[in-house]
Structure 1
Amino acid sequence: MHDPRNRHMQAVDKILQYLKSSPGKGLLFKREDTLGMKIYTDADYAGSITDRKSTSGYCMFLGNSLVTWRSKKQDRVSRSSAEAEFRALAQGMCEGLWMEIILDDLKIKIDSPVQLYCDNKFAISIAHNPVQHDRTKHIEIDRHFIKDNLDRGFMITTHVPTGLQLADIFTKGLPQGRFQDLVSKLGMIDIHLPT
């Protein structure tokens, strides 16, 4: 906002065109017998051309219903894609813990450990490895936080192939076909389309 350019106006125009073309889109929540929590986390490594900070994104499902999502620029520059993904993993885990507190207040129990999906195998390896490496000292706090929650069995990490990573929609500019595919996988429907 402090230095608007023509490309910014073009991006705003595309967003407004999308919103105008989809007034009936929304989320449909269906009742389910079992309640599991799944969280997809992702990051775009050094995606900002201005300061080379990465953007983290996550989306959380209760059962098959999308209940929360977020995209946010990370507060510091990551030195590797694994570090950027690891920070996104920590943010997704914080969201899961927050949702657990809310559900507990409502006397709702989750049926199984939370599934935390990440498409970076090295970030998952760091989360499970109790040995401190020189190359991970700068993310030590996040590592201990994640390891503690994995050890207590609250969450389990699962590798998801990049092609199945739902959180991509929150961290990257995508081609229209991939964008539409992810929108449908997130559970968005259009009430104006015939059934």
Structure 2
Amino acid sequence: MSKFSSCNFKDQKVLVRVDFNVPLNNQLEITDDTRMRAAIPTIQKILDDKGMVILMSHLGRPKGGPEEKFSLRPLVNHLSTLLGGRTVLFANDCIGEQAFTTAAMMKPGEVLLLENLRFHKEEEQGDEGFARKLSELGDVYVNDAFGTAHRAHASTAVIAKFFPVEKRMFGLLMEGEVRSAETV
């Protein structure tokens, strides 16, 4: 795996697995954004390099398909605020036509949040076809989802094999956690 901080992401579509599994109240408002804030340095580095950020995450435990209460859509405005008011695009299906069309039209400095990965059962099954489809959205894969790193899911354990070694890496959060673990 390459080292994130030494990479330049200029003109690259960077597929970033984040952990935006944040608590929401009954009005679908975020009650604790700690996990989102933890991903900002990784996202910002890519944006500073003039790259394009495509974010993948899960939220909750949907039962076999889309459920409004587990949609990532309510996170868009807050993510925009955390990124200093930058527009955040949203695709209503992580592997649907809209995701691919939007990703294809992205310009440097843009951010796209994909809908909840767990709306597809293939995510938790570690399905190779699902992982391959996700990988087609980006040029580079960054895993910055420390909270899900131990799971053999398509977007964490399987997807990396569809990217050359120099195009797959940990983000700043994951690098920091690995360093901390090595000192124990």
TM more than 0.5: no
Output the TM-score relative to the length of structure 1. 0.29
Output the TM-score relative to the length of structure 2. 0.30
Pick the structure with more strand per residue.
Answer: 1
- Greater Rg by CA: 1
